[in-house]
C-alpha cells in the first residue's frame, strides 16, 4: 500500500520552512522583507475548512481556523528557505 505524502511533508522535503499566515498588506511586506534578507519565498493557499487533509494544523499553525473561514482565498501561508547560492544575511558584514 502506497503512503500518501501531505503537502506539508513535500514542502519540508524541498527545504521549505513554514513561517506564518498573512493577508494583504502584510503579506506583500513580509514577502519583500524575506527576499531582501536572502530567502526564497513560496506561498501556499489557505486550505478550505471542508478540505483540510493536505494542510494539517502544523501547516496553518493552529487547530482553530475560525477566523479564516469564508475568506480563505485572502490568506496565504508563507514558506521560506535560504536562496541557493546566495549570501546569507551576515555574509556581507565582513567583506
- Domain ranges for the chain: 7-83
Q: What is the pLDDT of residues 38-79, one digit of tens each?
A: 999 999 998 776 665 555 555 555 667 777 788 889 999 999
pLDDT of residue 75: 94
pLDDT at 58: 53
In this prediction, residue 66 carries a pLDDT of 77
CA atoms within 13 A on the CB side of 4: 5
Measured distance CA(52)–CA(63) in Å, rounded: 11
Q: Is the pLDDT of residue 14 over 60?
A: yes
Alpha carbons 54 and 40: distance in angstroms, whole number? 22
Q: Which residue has the higher pLDDT, 84 or 91?
A: 84
pLDDT at 82 over 70: yes
Cβ neighbours around 65 below 10 Å, total: 19
Cell of 91: 555574509
Amino acid at each position: 500500500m502506497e503512503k500518501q505524502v501531505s503537502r506539508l511533508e513535500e514542502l519540508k522535503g524541498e527545504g521549505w520552512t513554514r513561517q506564518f499566515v498573512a493577508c494583504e498588506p502584510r503579506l506583500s511586506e513580509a514577502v519583500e522583507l524575506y527576499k531582501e534578507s536572502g530567502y526564497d519565498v513560496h506561498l501556499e493557499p489557505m486550505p478550505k475548512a471542508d478540505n483540510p487533509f493536505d494542510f494539517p494544523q502544523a501547516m496553518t499553525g493552529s487547530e482553530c481556523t475560525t477566523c479564516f473561514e469564508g475568506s480563505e482565498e485572502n490568506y496565504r501561508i508563507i514558506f521560506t528557505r535560504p536562496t541557493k547560492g546566495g549570501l546569507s544575511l551576515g555574509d556581507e558584514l565582513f567583506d
